[in-house]
C-alpha cells in the first residue's frame, strides 16, 4: 500500500467543480490583483478567526515581517521566538531589522517553554512570537500575562494552526496580531504562495496593508515606502472555496489523530500532546522515537511505501545561518534533542482507516522488533 505524506490531488478531486468555477470567474473578470475576490476572502477569514481585520499578503513569511515593521519593531530591538520552528519565524525578525532571541521548547508540546521566556527579556525586547507548531496551540495565557507585565507585543505565528482553539479562543484572535501561511501544504492551502495578517487593531491593519502595497492605500498616493506583497485574486478565490470546507477537514484530521493515538498507544513512541481545553488541528502528526532508531524507522517505512517527514531536523539556533550568534547545542537541550527524535507521519483529511492502520502496524512492528534486538544485543 502506497501512502503519501500529503495528497493534494485527492483534496482537489473532491472539490474540483467549485475550484474550477472560482478560477474561471477570476479569469473572466480579470481580477488578478486586488478586487472583490480578495476582499471577500479577507472578510471571510477575519470572521473565521474571530478578528475584525484581515490583510492578505504574498506569503506567511512576509506576513510576519510586515506586521513587525507595522508595529515599529526594527533595528536595536529584540524579538523572542521559539528554538523549534521553520526558519521563517526568525528570518522575518531579522528581515525587519531586529534580532531574534531563541527560547527552548517544552518537551511535550514542542512549543515555546513559557518557564524560560522571562530570562530572555531585556530592555531591547519588543515582542514575543509564539508559534502554534504542528497545529498545536501554544500556552497563550501565561505568554500574554508575561507580555503584559513587560509591555511587550504578542504576534501569533499561526502558519500551521488554521482553526485551532485555545480555551475557547480561536487561534489568531488573542495576540496583537497573528500571521498565517497559505502555502499549498497547509490545512488551508492556496495553489501557490499566499499569506495573511489578522488583527483587531484598525490602525495596525491599515499600516500593514500600506506596507504590503508599496506604502500606499490609494494608487500612487505613497505615504511611506513599502514592499510588493499582495494576495492575488486567483489564490483568494481558491482559498475562499477551501475555507468553507476547512471545518470538516479539521474534524477529519482530529479523528485521524485520535486513531493514531489509539493504534500507537502501546508502540513505545511518544505521540502528540494537546494542552487542556485546547484543540489542535494536526497540520502534522509528529511522534518521537529514540534517536538511534529514527533514521532506521524512516527507511523501514519508506521501503513499505509510507512517506514521512522531519519537522524540523535542525533547531533554529543550531543552523549555519545563526552560527554568528555563538550558540551551542547545549544552550537549547530540548530543541536539540527532539530534532534527532521526531518523525512526521502521513496526515491529511482524506486518509482512510486502512491507511492509518497500515502506518501504525508498520511503525509498531519496527519499534518493537528494533527494541528487542538492541536489548538482546
| Burial (0-12, 13-18, 19+ Cβ within 10 Å), 200 | middle
Mean pLDDT across the chain:
96
Grid cell, residue 18, equals 467549485
Please name the CATH architecture into which domain 245-376 falls: Alpha-Beta Complex (3.90)
Its pTM stands at 0.96
* Predicted confidence band of residue 376 (pLDDT cuts 50, 70, 90): very low
Which residues lie below 8 Å from residue 24, measured CB to CB, with a gap of 6+? none
Amino acid 1: pLDDT: 92
For residue 91, give the nearest of 68, 112, 119, 116 by alpha carbon.
68
Amino acid 371: pLDDT: 62
How do residues 260-309 score in pLDDT, each as one tens digit? 999 999 999 999 999 999 999 999 999 999 999 999 999 999 999 999 99
Amino acid 219: pLDDT: 82
Domain boundaries, the chain: 8-103+110-241, 245-376
Per-residue pLDDT, averaged over 249-258, amounts to 98
* Predicted confidence band of residue 373 (pLDDT cuts 50, 70, 90): very low
Q: Does domain 8-103+110-241 have CATH number 3.40.640.10?
A: yes
Say how far apart CA 81 and CA 93 lie, in whole Å.
9
Amino acid 372: pLDDT: 44
Question: What DSSP string runs through 228-289?
Answer: B---BHHHHHHHHHHHHHHHHHHHHHHHHHHHHHHHTTTTT-BPP-PPTTEE---SSEEEE-
* Predicted confidence band of residue 182 (pLDDT cuts 50, 70, 90): very high
* Predicted confidence band of residue 368 (pLDDT cuts 50, 70, 90): confident
How do residues 43-92 score in pLDDT, each as one tens digit? 999 999 999 999 999 999 999 999 999 999 999 999 999 999 999 999 99
**Residue 16 C-beta-side C-alpha neighbours within 13 Å:** 5
Vertex 374: Cα angle to 368 and 377 (nearest 5): 135
Vertex 42: Cα angle to 37 and 44 (nearest 5): 95
In the beta sheet, which residues pair with residue 279?
165
* Predicted confidence band of residue 377 (pLDDT cuts 50, 70, 90): very low
Amino acid 217: pLDDT: 81
Phi first, then psi, for residue 260 (nearest 5°) are: -55, -45
How do residues 297-343 score in pLDDT, each as one tens digit? 999 999 999 999 999 999 999 999 999 999 999 999 999 999 999 99
Amino acid at each position: 500500500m502506497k501512502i503519501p505524506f500529503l495528497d493534494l490531488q485527492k483534496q482537489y478531486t473532491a472539490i474540483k467543480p467549485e475550484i474550477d468555477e472560482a478560477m474561471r470567474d477570476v479569469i473572466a473578470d480579470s481580477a488578478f490583483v486586488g478586487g472583490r475576490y480578495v476582499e471577500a476572502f479577507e472578510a471571510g477569514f477575519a470572521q473565521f478567526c474571530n478578528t475584525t481585520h484581515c490583510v492578505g499578503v504574498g506569503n506567511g513569511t512576509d506576513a510576519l515581517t510586515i506586521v513587525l515593521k507595522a508595529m515599529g519593531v526594527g533595528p536595536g530591538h529584540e524579538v523572542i521566538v521559539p528554538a523549534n520552528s521553520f526558519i521563517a519565524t526568525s528570518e522575518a525578525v531579522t528581515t525587519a531589522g531586529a534580532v531574534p532571541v531563541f527560547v527552548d521548547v517544552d518537551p511535550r508540546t514542542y512549543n515555546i517553554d513559557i518557564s524560560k521566556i522571562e530570562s530572555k527579556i531585556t530592555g531591547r525586547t519588543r515582542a514575543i512570537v509564539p508559534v502554534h507548531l504542528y497545529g498545536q496551540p501554544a500556552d497563550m495565557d501565561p505568554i500574554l500575562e508575561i507580555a503584559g507585565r513587560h509591555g511587550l507585543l504578542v504576534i501569533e505565528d499561526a502558519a500551521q494552526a488554521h482553526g485551532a482553539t485555545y480555551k475557547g479562543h480561536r487561534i489568531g484572535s488573542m495576540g496583537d496580531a497573528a500571521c498565517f501561511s497559505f502555502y499549498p501544504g497547509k490545512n488551508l492551502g492556496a495553489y501557490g504562495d499566499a499569506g495573511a495578517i489578522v488583527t483587531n487593531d484598525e490602525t495596525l491593519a491599515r499600516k500593514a496593508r500600506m506596507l504590503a502595497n508599496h506604502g500606499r492605500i490609494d494608487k500612487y498616493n505613497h505615504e511611506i515606502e513599502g514592499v510588493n506583497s499582495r494576495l492575488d485574486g486567483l489564490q483568494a478565490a481558491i482559498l475562499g472555496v477551501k475555507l468553507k470546507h476547512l471545518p470538516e477537514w479539521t474534524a477529519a484530521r482530529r479523528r485521524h489523530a485520535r486513531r493514531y493515538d489509539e493504534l500507537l498507544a502501546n508502540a513505545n513512541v511518544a505521540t502528540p500532546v494537546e494542552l487542556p481545553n485546547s484543540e489542535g488541528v494536526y497540520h502534522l502528526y509528529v511522534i518521537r522515537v529514540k534517536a538511534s532508531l529514527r533514521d532506521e524507522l524512516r527507511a523501514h517505512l519508506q521501503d513499505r511505501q509510507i512517506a514521512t517527514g522531519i519537522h524540523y531536523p535542525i533547531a533554529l539556533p543550531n543552523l549555519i545561518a545563526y552560527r554568528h550568534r555563538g550558540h551551542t547545542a547545549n544552550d537549547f537541550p530540548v530543541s536539540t534533542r527532539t530534532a534527532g527524535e521526531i518523525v512526521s507521519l502521513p496526515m491529511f483529511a482524506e486518509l482512510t482507516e486502512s491507511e492509518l492502520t497500515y502506518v501504525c502496524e508498520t511503525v509498531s512492528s519496527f519499534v518493537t522488533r528494533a527494541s528487542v534486538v538492541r536489548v538482546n544485543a
